[in-house]
């Protein structure tokens, strides 16, 4: 991936790997980096770039783009999305190719002006509009909120390539091949779901709308702007997105605890034992203070059962658990079973806060609710075991 890679007929990958950014959006850890995929479609009459990459990768991106252009000028830039990880180099392209025209929809243009001061040489497209490059007719479809209001996708009917931008994207830089048939599914699925849970999940209803809209297209390849390019089993990828956006969870449970001195951790372990007692084989136990919250969100999105256990801190819910609850409320998970438990010493607070959370999140609540004073007694731990057992039975 150190040079432009031909991805389909007249279609080039000109993206870059980022191993230097620690936190995507200054929020989400990138232990395996992230790729910014950008593309070039070389028609017989004109050449169009699809998106750019993040600012610091100017030289590498321009070198690949120039290589793929093979001596031609760049005529168009299709702006599928204005977030700077894809739109970082728009102004620089105009400097290099002054006749360049920008293609976006009505919601793109204020952002284009705001970020780059660009108001000229723009072509505003609507849903279903096309651009004929000669041998390749690009068709545009808006997909609002995937991931911003101006987001759109671009379809090339001659190759069947859907340039899907953030949709179908995943964390993780390219290691070796860039295509799905060049790597094992285990190398991309977890990071794609982690990306979904962190970035896209809030807009799952819109994903369903987009899937319906795109369902009329004869898609043969899906080339997103992050992560793996799909050309082997498109149906599998669309089915994953359908499943995640419908929130059809798998049989399994996530148990998350916040504990200062290990007492609430023991309660969480008893819940896990109850889940195991109900023959649930996929159980994920997370310390909310230490685990990467995007991995917690990923697994909550993956599985049907969730248990949250936390101690009280300064009369309120343990802060890292409060942060997780806030992220969950923002994403509105559905079709899950929820168990809660709190602990306290000199002041109650955690269970009450978790009860309020449970009311707001509207997941199916599983009993018993548990509140423990100081260290859990054997009876307390038995109740936690029962909670795990009941959660397990609910998803069996």
Nearer to ligand FEO, 83 or 191 (CB): 83
Nearer to ligand FEO, 86 or 327 (CB): 86
Q: Which residue is nearest to ligand FEO (CB)?
A: 83
396 burial level (CB within 10 Å; 0-12, 13-18, 19+): exposed
Nearer to ligand FEO, 36 or 344 (CB): 36
Task: Tell me how far, at minimum, the Cβ of 1 lies from ligand FEO, in Å.
Answer: 18
Nearest-angstrom CA–CA distance, 269 and 256: 10
- Concatenated DSSP letters for 250-312? EEEEEEEEE-SSSHHHHHHHHHHHHHHHTT---EEEEETTTS-HHHHHHHHHHEEEEEEEEEE
Task: Tell me how far, at minimum, the Cβ of 53 lies from ligand FEO, in Å.
Answer: 10
Nearest-angstrom CA–CA distance, 57 and 13: 15
Nearer to ligand FEO, 78 or 358 (CB): 78
Nearest-angstrom CA–CA distance, 264 and 256: 10
Determine the distance from the C-alpha atom of residue 324 to the mean position of all C-alpha atoms in its chain, rounded to a whole number: 17
- Chain positions 315 to 374 lying near ligand FEO, rule: CB under 6 A, are none
Segment interacting with ligand FEO (CB under 6 A) among 78-86, 178-186, 301-309, 361-369: 78-86
Nearest-angstrom CA–CA distance, 60 and 343: 53
Segment interacting with ligand FEO (CB under 6 A) among 79-87, 88-96, 134-142, 171-179: 79-87
Which one among 85, 156, 380, 386 touches ligand FEO, defined by CB under 6 A?
85
Q: Give the total residue count for the chain.
A: 396
Task: Tell me how far, at minimum, the Cβ of 20 lies from ligand FEO, in Å.
Answer: 16
Task: Tell me how far, at minimum, the Cβ of 147 lies from ligand FEO, in Å.
Answer: 4
Using CB under 6 A as the binding rule, whether residue 86 contacts ligand FEO is answered as yes
Those residues whose C-beta lies under 8 Å from the C-beta of residue 342, and which sit 6 or more positions away, are: 309, 310, 311, 312, 317, 348, 349, 350, 351, 352, 353, 354, 370, 371, 372
- 169 near 225, Cβ under 8 Å? yes
Task: Tell me how far, at minimum, the Cβ of 47 lies from ligand FEO, in Å.
Answer: 23
Size of the site for ligand FEO (CB under 6 A): 8
Segment interacting with ligand FEO (CB under 6 A) among 60-68, 81-89, 246-254, 385-393: 81-89
Task: Tell me how far, at minimum, the Cβ of 185 lies from ligand FEO, in Å.
Answer: 22
Determine the distance from the C-alpha atom of residue 280 to the mean position of all C-alpha atoms in its chain, rounded to a whole number: 27
Which one among 156, 166, 299, 386 touches ligand FEO, defined by CB under 6 A?
166
Which one among 75, 225, 245, 390 touches ligand FEO, defined by CB under 6 A?
225
Return residues touching ligand FEO (CB under 6 A).
Answer: 81, 83, 85-86, 147, 166, 225-226
């Amino acid at each position: 991936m150190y040079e432009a890679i031909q991805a389909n007929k007249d279609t080039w990958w000109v993206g870059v790997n980022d191993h230097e950014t620690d936190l995507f959006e200054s929020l989400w850890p990138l232990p395996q980096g992230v790729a910014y995929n950008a593309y070039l479609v070389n028609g017989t009459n004109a050449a169009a770039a699809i998106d750019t990459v993040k600012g610091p990768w100017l030289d590498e991106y321009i070198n690949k783009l120039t290589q793929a252009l093979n001596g031609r000028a760049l005529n168009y830039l299709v702006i599928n999305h204005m977030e700077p990880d894809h739109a970082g180099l728009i102004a620089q392209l105009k400097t290099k190719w002054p006749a360049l025209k920008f293609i976006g929809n009505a919601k793109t243009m204020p952002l284009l002006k705001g970020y780059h001061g660009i108001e000229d040489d723009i072509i505003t497209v609507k849903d279903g509009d096309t651009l004929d490059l000669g041998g390749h007719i690009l068709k545009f479809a808006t997909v609002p909120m995937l991931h911003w209001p101006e987001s759109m996708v671009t379809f090339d009917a001659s190759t069947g390539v859907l340039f899907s931008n953030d949709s179908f994207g995943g964390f993780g830089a390219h290691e070796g091949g860039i295509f799905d048939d060049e790597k094992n599914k285990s190398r991309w699925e977890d990071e794609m779901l982690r990306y979904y849970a962190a970035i896209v999940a809030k807009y799952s209803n819109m994903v369903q709308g987009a899937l319906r809209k795109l369902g009329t297209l004869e898609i043969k390849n899906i080339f997103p702007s992050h992560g793996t390019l799909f050309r082997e089993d498109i149906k599998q990828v669309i089915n994953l997105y359908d499943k995640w956006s419908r929130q059809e969870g798998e049989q399994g449970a996530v148990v998350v605890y916040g504990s200062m001195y290990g007492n609430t951790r023991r309660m969480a372990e008893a819940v896990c034992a109850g889940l195991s007692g109900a023959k649930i084989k996929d159980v994920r136990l997370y310390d909310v203070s230490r685990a990467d919250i995007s991995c917690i969100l990923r697994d909550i999105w993956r599985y049907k059962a969730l248990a949250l256990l936390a101690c009280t801190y300064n009369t309120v819910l343990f802060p890292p658990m409060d942060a997780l609850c806030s992220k969950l409320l923002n994403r509105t998970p559905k079709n899950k079973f929820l168990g809660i438990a709190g602990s306290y010493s000199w002041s109650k607070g955690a269970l009450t806060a978790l009860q309020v959370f449970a009311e707001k999140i509207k997941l199916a609540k599983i009993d018993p609710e548990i509140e423990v004073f100081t260290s859990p007694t054997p009876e307390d731990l038995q109740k936690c075991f029962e909670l795990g057992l009941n959660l397990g039975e609910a998803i069996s």
